[in-house]
Structure 1
Amino acid sequence: MKSLIMIIDGMADRPIPELGEKTPLEAAETPNMDKLAENGINGIMDPIKPGIRVGSDTAHLSILGYNPYKVYTGRGPFEAAGVGVEVKPGDIAFRCNFATQDEDGIIIDRRAGRIREKTDKIAETINSMKIEGFEDVEIIFKESTGHRAVLVLRGENLSDKVSDSDPKKEGKPPKAVKPLNDSPAAEKTAKLLNRLVEKSYKLLKEHPVNIERLKRSENPANIILPRGAGEVPHIRKFEEKYGLKAACIAETGLIKGIGNLTGMEIIEVEGATGGIDTNLKNIKDAIIDTINSQYDFILVNIDGADEAGHDGDLKGKIEFLEKVDEILEDFPLDEMFFVFTADHTTPISVKDHTGDPVPIVINGPGIRVDNIKRFNEREASKGGLCRIRGSDIMNILLDLMDKTEKFGA
């Protein structure tokens, strides 16, 4: 039997007064998710442990059975690996935002109007950048999906022990990058990054792509904001760890990077944007094709609900969850063990990740079906799976797949 974990990024939420204290998942019409609940075993899951506000990266690592406290050095290496940069030992990698800065040096849009097109042209300009006094460092910059990008610094005496430049909120200037320890390498890296951020604005403010965006009254992508510094980690390959040939279907560079660094085959999907405008039909077709291929395990991540949560877009989140529900119709559940869950909670009211547990349901032959009929945060908490952690999932799946050895006599 094959197994599949489908993670609807940021799907879980908190009660919302204008919905009569329902969550978006409780308010949405989701007959196929409810069918999963009715035919499966339900519960709630803490991606790492109760109350921990996880990132998508650390949550996915935990769900895949890797200890994020040991293998996670920062988001940058995963983002870089996910967009096709061949990272090397000693490289320092960052995730970046294309952002909009005004003439007073204030960030007025951290996502540059959620830019979608021609970011490759902007990346070419950054890659041509030379920073005086740092000629020994190679700058590797590549666009990812939407407003996202990656930066890799390659050279001697560099460190990932530096702070972020992203102010996290609009209305503030970029943060000055600071060394997080007293090492000369951290001091050098921080100084280089501050120069790089400053120079990116000078190079990009009159870039042809941004001139076009301004003519269309769109926010220009005129500065880059590096964050999530990390040194490339050593991660045991998924197939070596579990004996399962694995594939990954994901929209964002971050999750593709986790797939790449764990040795999964990355299945590209046309039209998979990572937003609420993503082509869910193409994603479903890719999932079905992959189920019917040689892989034993498939990881799927769909990102739009998280985007809506970060944007505080209640209507968009509900509508997106209903669209996700549609692709679950006629899913080949008799051919696999199917885990359906989220990686974290992204409440509309908070516009960021929180430590609330997320609903989870497992379908497949031999499952001890409970009496839950609806799939949502509160109903799932009453199910037979009870409350588990993300690190429990692979153990459960391996047992269901009869891939484990007995512990003890």
Structure 2
Amino acid sequence: MSTGRSVILIVFDGLGDRPNPALGNRTALQAAYRPNLNRMARLGITGLLDTVSPGVVAGSDTSHLSLLGYDPRRYYTGRGPFEAMGLGIEVRPGDIAFRANFATREGGTITDRRAGRISSGTEELSEVLNREIDGVEFIFRPGVEHRGALVMRGEGLSDALSDSDPHDVGKPPREVVALDKGAERTASVLNRYLKEAREALERHPVNVRRRSEGKGPANELLVRGAGRVPDLPPFRQVHGFSGACIAGIPMITGICALLGMEVIKVEGATGSLYTNVDGKIAAAVEASRRHRFVIVNIKGTDVAGHDRNPVEKKGVIERADRAMGRILEVADRAVIAVTGDHSTPCSTGEHSGDPVPLLVFSPDGRRDSVMSFDEVSVARGALRLRGTELIEYLKQAAGLSEKYGA
């Protein structure tokens, strides 16, 4: 292993926000009790980060590629392959992969895109979703709550497909449409599959039971984000050292697995509001002894943002801040960075193009005059970076960069 320190990058998913009346016109980050984050900001260097580029409304997939040093404009082919690999599907060349949701459909209309955030029964539901139609194999794996991934495997398939997900309630599922002339057969077979899946889910015992309990059935499968497996050079080859990933959502672990990074599983790391943050931070500290770079994703801030719940988002930040005390123990041998992958304002419930706050802390690193970690305070900081630039900045801060030029 080369000389220098390790880097631990903590990514609060959807961290950035806007002032909210429920918090006295403060953001969740401003309102949260965050002594450890503020301490790192006070003793470190801060600023704002555009995870792709200014004004771009980034997804978690494109932003994490960027944070890992891979320009999404070059490498991104859709979220589906990452989601599928993160759920344990061995995606092969030529496979077409989708993100998928269990949803509730009543009278032909989607009434809940998340089927009440269904938390049990998805394994049983999934058993009826693996089948073959017209020589095309369909492979489905459930993920956290309502989420899952679907893979189509067969000859001559295309990813030039529209979504079946209407992306809103009160609308029917969309028919999948071929987006170029070479995708007609793929679209046709997929529509047949979704029809069969709808019929099988409707009569499934899990949904019969849910209806009897007054719960919305998970009787529709919505798919989106069709994509082929991208050709990604390994993380070690690009950066010169090994990396590890700790996350509770398959899309993030899928990206890291495709890059050849170690994916570390932590008990209770669910990608939900009450994920095991303490376990994630402890695992990151341990992993930093084996790897020069460790990335940790904390999903709960994004979940609360999408739920338009600023009080819950504040709570996620406070729980994570308490866990941060452990990470300060390794500040003598690691550069610690904290940021978001994008903004998810609670006022809108959707991603926005607002920059996210950033701090970089090491005892002998540069400092600025910022005293607290929030969207407004760090705007006075010394840093203004784009996503792919962050890992380069962190590498030099850790003494891991090669000299550029003579």
Task: Give me the TM-score of the superposition, normalised by structure 1.
Answer: 0.95
TM-superposed deviation, 1:196: 1.8
Distance (Å, rounded) in 1 between the aligned partners of 2:326 and 2:155: 54
Query: How many Å separate the matches in 1 of 2:221 and 2:22?
Result: 37
Map of 1:95 onto structure 2: 99
Match of 1:259 in 2: 256
Tell me which residue corresponds to 1:357: 355
Is there any run of 5+ residues in structure 1 with no aligned partner, and where? none
Q: Secondary structure at the match of 1:360?
A: strand
Pick the aligned partner of 2:89 from 73, 80, 85.
85
Count of matched residue positions in the alignment of Structure 1 and Structure 2 = 400
Q: Distance in 2 between matches of 1:368 and 1:273?
A: 35
Give the Cα–Cα distance (whole angstroms) in 2 for the partners of residues 400 and 284 of structure 1: 21
Aligned to 2:353, the other structure's residue is in SS state coil
Q: 1:30 is matched with which residue: 7, 30, 34?
A: 34
In structure 1, the residue matched to 2:128 is 125
Q: 1:138-287 alignment to 2 at 5 Å?
A: 138-183=137-182, 186-287=183-284
1:180 shift after superposition:
0.9
2:200 alignment partner, SS class: helix
Match of 2:116 in 1: 113
CA distance in 1, matches of 2:284, 2:219: 37
Instruction: Determine helix, strand or coil for the equivalent of 2:191.
Output: helix
Distance 1:222 1:165 in 2: 14
Identity of aligned residues (%): 45
> For residues 214 and 276 of structure 2, what CA distance do their matches in structure 1 show?
26
Cα distance 1:27–1:171, how it changes in 2: closer, same or farther (>3 A)?
same
The CA deviation at 1:313 is 1.4
Alpha-carbon distance in 1 for matches of 2:121, 2:273: 20
Give the match for residue 372 of structure 1: 370
Q: Post-superposition shift, 1:191?
A: 1.3
Match of 2:294 among 287, 292, 298: 298
The residue that corresponds to 2:333 in the other structure is 335
Moved runs in structure 1, 4+ residues, more than 6 A?
A: none
C-alpha change, 1:353 and 1:269, in structure 2 (3 Å) is: same
**Which residue of the partner structure matches residue 56 of structure 1?**
60
> Are 1:311 and 2:307 counterparts?
yes
Question: Are the aligned partners of 1:112 and 1:219 in contact in 2 as well (CA < 8 Å)?
Answer: yes
8 A contact 2:23–2:311 mirrored in 1: no
SS of structure 1 residue aligned to 2:129: helix
Q: Deviations over 1:260-283 (max 9, x none)?
A: 111111101111111112122222
Cα distance in 1 for partners of 2:179, 2:14 equals 30
CA apart distance, 1:285:
2.6
> Is the Cα contact below 8 Å between 1:101 and 1:107 reproduced in 2?
yes
Equivalent-residue separation in structure 1 for 2:404 and 2:244 (angstroms)? 29
Asked whether the equivalents of residues 98 and 224 of structure 1 are also in contact (C-alpha less than 8 Å), the reply is yes
Aligned partners of 1:394, 1:288: CA distance in 2, in Å?
A: 18
Shift of 1:284: 2.5
Matched to 1:94, the amino acid is F
- What letter corresponds to residue 72 of structure 2 in structure 1? P
User: What TM-score, normalized by structure 2, do the two folds share?
Assistant: 0.96
* Distance (Å, rounded) in 2 between the aligned partners of 1:314 and 1:215: 33
Please state how far the C-alpha of 1:215 moved relative to its aligned partner: 2.7
1:169-228 C-alpha deviation (Å, 9 max, x unpaired) = 111101111111122xx1111112222222211101121222222233222211111100
Find the residue that maps to 2:214 and give its secondary structure: coil
Greater alpha carbon shift after TM alignment, 198-207 vs 162-171:
198-207
8 Å CA contact retained: 1:246, 1:264: yes
Is residue 94–residue 153 contact of structure 2 (8 Å, CA) maintained in 1?
yes
- Checking the alignment, whether the CA contact within 8 Å between 2:8 and 2:284 is kept in structure 1 is no
1:71 and 2:69 matched = no
CA distance in 1, matches of 2:298, 2:212: 33
Of the structure 1 ranges 248-257 and 321-330, higher mean CA displacement relative to structure 2 is found in: 321-330
Query: Over residues 291-348 of structure 1, what are the superposed CA-to-partner deviations in whole Å (9 max), with x where a residue is unaligned?
Result: 34x1221111010110111111122111111111110114222220111000000011
Equivalent pair of 2:97/2:227 in contact (CA under 8 Å): yes
**Alpha-carbon distance, 1:34 to partner:** 0.6
Separation in structure 1 between the aligned mates of residue 332 and residue 376 of structure 2, nearest angstrom: 27
**For residue 19 of structure 1, what is the aligned residue in structure 2?**
23
Q: Which of 261-270 and 212-221 deviates more? A: 212-221
Amino acid at match of 2:193: L
Q: In the alignment, which residue of structure 2 is the partner of 1:407?
A: 404
Partner of 1:326: 322
The letter for the 1-side match of 2:202 is K
Give unpaired runs (5+ residues) of structure 2: none
> For the structure 1 residues 368 and 308, does the alpha-carbon distance in structure 2 shift closer, same or farther, using more than 3 Å as the test?
same
Q: Distance in 2 between matches of 1:79 and 1:303?
A: 15
* 8 Å contact kept, 1:146–1:273: no
What SS class does the counterpart of residue 181 from structure 2 fall into? coil
How far did residue 5 of structure 1 move?
Answer: 0.8
